[in-house]
Structure 1
Amino acid sequence: MESASPSLRIRLTLGSALGLFMTGAIGASPGAAIPRWQDEFSIQSEIAWYFNLLFLGALLGIYLGSRLRRRHPWLPLALLTEGLALGLIALAPGAWGLYGAAFFLGLGVAVVNFHCNALPVELFPNRPMVVLGRVNAAFGLGAVLAPLLLLWLPWRLGYGLLALVALVTAFLLRQAPPPQNEKASSAGPRPRLLPYILLAVVAYVAVELVLSSYSSLYLLRLGYPDWLVGLLLSLFWVAFTLGRFGLAAFVARQPLERLFWLHLLALGAVFCYFIPPLAWLFPLLGFLVAPTFPTLYGFARVFVGYRAAAYLFYAGAVGGNLVPAAFATLPQEALAWGLLGVVSTMALSTHLLRRNGEAKSPVL
């Protein structure tokens, strides 16, 4: 899609970045909002309905988004759905309002996430990995800013502002071109690589969500003060954003080789959890694993094909919902072992891709 005018490419790239910003913001905002929801609506374990309905909406959104033959008007409509759901949350008179909005929020987010990852790859086919990695940095920025917004402002106002950002994004992504259903690389599709890619995505998303969801509990158990735990969680997302943006060009030169070594470094960094005085180093993990999804997505597009890339989002939904739910059953002292397991799985999957002779990819 290099034939697109420069102004159109800039607008659509900015829209894609804002779409991914919204994905990160929506994923991270409940961390700040849940205590307020619990106080205002007198709910505790019932909040699980929010996440269950969000998950169901996301599954439907992935299914529909991966089958769209054109992006206009469906991509802007998905963002309008996001905005409407966020507005409903801001105006919710009771917990049932949160639950009803969650399904439509998941639906909109999944469609937006799918196409805002695909569109930059098609706009810049000669350097997709670098562009995708840098556009994906907006995800981390949303994950950093949204919780802060909800802590600084009344939560209803914060969700109302996020709804307005969704509307602006819908405007930027108007007239988006249809998906480019390009075939896999000229060497032929390699569907046997897909299980390794999906396993790595499940493990990566699980690492991201477990770190951001359970690290605070683990550090508090180790005796770290509340203010320091909050600061370290913010630094995790800052490091994640810097890794997405700063490591994009580095990883693109030798995607699987360099990603594997980053995963090995992440595996070493996990051991900071086993040494309480060093547990404060865990934000480093965010920097090291940040390029994983853009790299695997770009690799899947090139070596497996556009359609198969949809499975990465299903894998992400599994890793982001089922694995953290399983971690909830672990005693807090076992978190480090569980995290060691999922990071090891991620590194092993990348190694299996890397050692496959036919999987040696060019610069992405």
Structure 2
Amino acid sequence: MTRRYNFCAGPAALPEPVLEQARDEMLDWHGAGLSIMEMSHRSPEIVGVAQRAEATLRDLMGIGDDYAVLFLQGGASTQFAAVPLNLLSEGGVADYVNTGQWSKKAIAEGKRFGNVNVAASSEDTRFTTIPARETWQLSASADYLHYTPNETIGGVEYFWVPETQAPLVVDMSSTILSRPVNVADYGVIYAGAQKNIGPAGLTLVIVRKDLLGKADARCPAMLDWKTAADNDSMYNTPPTYALYLAGLVFEWLKGQGGLDAMEVINRRKAEKLYAAIDGSAFYANPVELQSRSLMNIPFTLADANLDKAFLVESEAAGLLNLKGHRSVGGMRASIYNAVGEDAVDALIAFMQDFERRNG
């Protein structure tokens, strides 16, 4: 079988060494005589897997003991509700910044549970910019400020951390582990796994411990972060196989040199692809230069009538999942950690050949 290059925004590519190890351990995990998928989540084996995964993640990200690390279910979209249920006080207000479709969904969910102030929005630029910090209209005493550091659909990314008195809550689904972050800057970091962590089904929440225990009385036990923390993420049966695979990804990242090394690689990949787009009159990227995502790169063709041919031919060339989101159109290449530089090189070569034949 020949592996092809996967540019999907999620579920996304996984490192081949991780998939190979999982394949080899599928039927008999470490001599146990059964698959890890068949083990009780209360067993010493699964508890050990979870503990090792957490320890490796803490080491990779520099997560201090003043933060709880939770392995949950439901995807980042469930956390859109969990955030206000855990942090928004009765009569309080939460600030949100709207930079794309995922921000909008978080805002809509927040409004179900209390007062939401949209402090800034880039909707007027069709989400091709990040609103300048001096334009934000923050509340005087917000319970938290929520923003999305990277929008997978529009391809915009923050390269700075907002200064605010309120705890920062961030949906890092598409940038987590792609470069170093100072965890201490944030009150809560949450992320769906299916981009840079592991397979779909697992959700990571990193929450400062002083923010635990504030949940609204209406908050279901399954969404209460303190309940999860008090039970070491095993209040119910966690997604054990996804957690196992995430642990392998964390170990793979350490083997690559950690997040500093990944940032160098990811910047190089993105710079190559942006250079190919900008150096062409055939392709274009709509995002302002200083806010271009390193993970999700949308681009359009000069003639949209060629989109279908581009997708058919690129797939035949082994380049998968390049169709842009329906709200943006055109193409999108998601180049997460597990998408190698060889994949980006192959995409650029195809783009240049397609332009020669159709430009």
Q: Same fold (TM over 0.5)?
A: no
Q: Which has the higher helix share?
A: 1
Superposition TM-score, scaled by structure 2 size: 0.30
Superposition TM-score, scaled by structure 1 size: 0.30
Q: Which has the higher strand share?
A: 2
